Amino acid sequence: MPPEALNQTPSYTHKLDCFSLGVLAIQIVTRKFPTPTERFESIPSSQSPAGFVLQPVSEEKRRSSHISMIEESHPFLPLIGQCLSYKEQDRPLALGICRRMAKLKDSELYKKGIELPPICSTSSVTQLNGKDQPTKTNQDLTNTNDDPLQNKLYEMERKLKETEKLLQESRDATAKELKQKEVEMKVVREKFVAIQRELESLALPQEPGKGEVASTEEKSEQTIVVSSSASKQDSTLSLDWQTVGVAPQEFTRGAAVVLGDLVYCHSSGKNFVSEFNISSGSWSNLPRCRCSHFSLACVGGRLTAIGGYDFTTTNKLFTYSTDGPGKGSWVQELKPMPTARCNTVSVSTDTTLVVAGGDESGYNDYLSVVEAMDIASGRWSEVARLPQPCLNLSATLFGDQLYVTGGIAPRGNSGTYSCSLSNLLSPPARGLRLRALTQPRKTVWQEIGSPPTSKTTLVTLCGEILAIGGLNEQRKPVTGVYRYDVETGGWHKLSDLILPRSRCIAAVFEGGIICIGGQGENTIEIASPA
């Protein structure tokens, strides 16, 4: 097992399979199971009362007795060393492993292993004839009729090689044909999108006939049809997406915070935050936080992890310190929330932090609780609850309006809701005990039409509310980016990502919008508004 799976707080990722591949490769090459030595070794130390300290042993050193059996020129050896790296982020990705395994076919050891040996050697010919014969070449044996059996064997070998050659040519032709089909499909798709946009720009809204009375359900259905097909496009926003790199891991169901040229990304099941430099394209990890499944926000200009799970849910807030005694670590400076929870969503303004929904116990105890903190005083209060309990929401601010969607509810996907922050936070916040003695506040949340996809990600760009990616009705990731029309309440197709994504991480920076990862995806796309 890799070291991160044996820690007190184990971490299970796809890097565990990469480690297992390294162990399996040693067994394949040496034909012996690489039983590891102890995880720690004692190092003499005069500063320790015991006279020694325990130091972790690298995984490669723990199996050095078996690795030494492998020749230094063996093409598997470098890959084994990387797969057994002590730090999981130093291990290669699955795609990189596949590419390196494919390149092994070009090694001399592989070519030597697949060469067909002579089907019948000279000594065998001697044994077949019952007497000594002079050595003959393959061409001599093929062109002579002295030994029909020998000629037949070599003829079979020749046909076998010809068949293998034809099969390889067939594979190459098929791959070339598939690639050509992909190019043709891409062209057809681009034409279809262009025609669809042209139709949407030419379409006129339909008016109900005279004397026709439409029910609430019919009007709702009509709105959905208009928003998903043809509708006016008042927006001048245009996005041209391009791939700019690959993230070191999959980012999904998390959050992103932008501070200057740095994007801080968090994936829900991880207990660390990764830093991406947009200018240089480099990645680095911050020190691990106290728990996982937290939400991420910028509170008072500082990166803050809110809530989370570590064997139990927590209500604490941890701020990443860049100065002072706790520089380079997560410190608890802000007052904890009234409600402990994980998998929540957080949005922050200059004056207020709002935390909505989540899981109370870590075992799908859905919450509708919404709590707000006044950043200046640090005082928390409960505000109007969500219309339904849900977790893993995506949220964005559009002026004074807060929008949430994309979460999971007890009976499936959550709805899409909006409310005014001024209505949500007024009257002035009071303590929870005083709140319980007053009459319940009127509902300020309003349900609006949901995006065409579920598990989507909301952002606000250039005065437009966008829903990025998600799952369609067949629960397949899509490339669509949809714009919300505040006036009509409908969603309209704006552009397409290069790759389909769901539950991705998205954030807006000074130069445009960045989209990272998604479920089963780790590529990065950036678009600049035009």
Whether residue 344 has pLDDT greater than 90: yes
In a domain, residue 22? The reply is yes
Give the pLDDT confidence score for residue 355 in this predicted structure.
97
DSSP state of 232: -
Percent share of the chain, pLDDT over 90:
39
In a domain, residue 167? The reply is no
Query: 430-463, pLDDT tens digit by residue?
Result: 444 444 445 445 568 999 999 999 999 999 998 8
Q: Give the helix, strand, coil percentages of the chain, each rounded to 5.
A: 30, 30, 45
| CATH number for 359 | 2.120.10.80
Range of the domain at 27: 3-114
Answer yes or no: are the C-beta atoms of 172 and 178 closer than 8 Å: no
As a whole number, mean pLDDT of residues 421-429 equals: 75
Going by pLDDT thresholds of 50, 70 and 90, the confidence category of residue 426 is confident
Most confident region among 49-63, 75-89, 293-307, 413-427 by mean pLDDT: 293-307
Q: Quote the tokens at residue 174.
A: 């098929």
Flag the least confident range among 211-215, 415-419, 506-510: 211-215
Flag the least confident range among 165-174, 323-332, 405-414: 165-174
Answer yes or no: are the C-beta atoms of 392 and 408 closer than 8 Å: yes
Give the pLDDT confidence score for residue 505 in this predicted structure.
93
Greater confidence, 193 or 487?
487
In a domain, residue 523? The reply is yes
Flag the least confident range among 145-149, 274-278, 332-336, 426-430: 426-430
Give the pLDDT confidence score for residue 231 in this predicted structure.
39
Whether residue 148 has pLDDT greater than 80: no
Asked if residue 409 and residue 275 are part of one domain, the reply reads yes
Whether residue 481 has pLDDT greater than 90: yes
Greater confidence, 192 or 136?
192
In a domain, residue 360? The reply is yes
Give the pLDDT confidence score for residue 453 in this predicted structure.
94
In a domain, residue 62? The reply is yes
Answer yes or no: are the C-beta atoms of 350 and 376 closer than 8 Å: no
Percent share of the chain, pLDDT over 70:
82
Flag the least confident range among 94-103, 115-124, 318-327, 372-381: 115-124
Q: Which residues pair with 525 in a beta bridge?
A: 243, 515
Most confident region among 174-178, 196-200, 373-377 by mean pLDDT: 373-377
State the Cα–Cα distance between residues 366 and 76, nearest whole angstrom. Answer: 48
State the Cα–Cα distance between residues 317 and 25, nearest whole angstrom. Answer: 44
Overall number of domains in the chain: 2
Give the pLDDT confidence score for residue 8 in this predicted structure.
65
DSSP 370-439: EEEEETTTTEEEEEPPPSS--BS-EEEEETTEEEEES-EETTEE--EEEEEHHHHH-SPP--HHHHHHSP
Give the pLDDT confidence score for residue 57 in this predicted structure.
83
In a domain, residue 73? The reply is yes
Give the pLDDT confidence score for residue 511 in this predicted structure.
80
Going by pLDDT thresholds of 50, 70 and 90, the confidence category of residue 206 is very low
Amino acid (1-letter code) at residue 84: L
State the Cα–Cα distance between residues 115 and 435, nearest whole angstrom. Answer: 82
Give the pLDDT confidence score for residue 117 in this predicted structure.
45
Greater confidence, 353 or 2?
353
Pick from 79, 98, 114: which residue ends a domain? 114
Taking the CA of residue 504 as centre, how many other CA atoms within 13 Å lie in the half-sphere pointing to its CB? 32
Asked if residue 240 and residue 110 are part of one domain, the reply reads no
Give the pLDDT confidence score for residue 207 in this predicted structure.
44
In a domain, residue 374? The reply is yes
Q: Which residues pair with 459 in a beta bridge?
A: 466
Going by pLDDT thresholds of 50, 70 and 90, the confidence category of residue 51 is confident
Q: Could you tell me the CA-to-CA distances from 166 to 156, 161, 163, 432 in Å, in that order?
A: 15, 9, 5, 78
Asked if residue 239 and residue 110 are part of one domain, the reply reads no
State the Cα–Cα distance between residues 243 and 499, nearest whole angstrom. Answer: 9
Taking the CA of residue 180 as centre, how many other CA atoms within 13 Å lie in the half-sphere pointing to its CB? 6
Going by pLDDT thresholds of 50, 70 and 90, the confidence category of residue 161 is confident
As a whole number, mean pLDDT of residues 6-27 equals: 83
The angle formed by the CA atoms of residues 306, 307 and 311, to the nearest 5 degrees, is 145
Give the pLDDT confidence score for residue 332 in this predicted structure.
92
Asked if residue 386 and residue 520 are part of one domain, the reply reads yes
Per this entry, what is the length of the chain? 530
In a domain, residue 436? The reply is yes
Flag the least confident range among 52-66, 132-146, 164-178, 284-298: 132-146
Pick from 114, 137, 167: which residue ends a domain? 114
Q: Which residues pair with 52 in a beta bridge?
A: 44
Pick from 114, 148, 181: which residue ends a domain? 114
State the Cα–Cα distance between residues 270 and 291, nearest whole angstrom. Answer: 8
The angle formed by the CA atoms of residues 351, 406 and 457, to the nearest 5 degrees, is 70
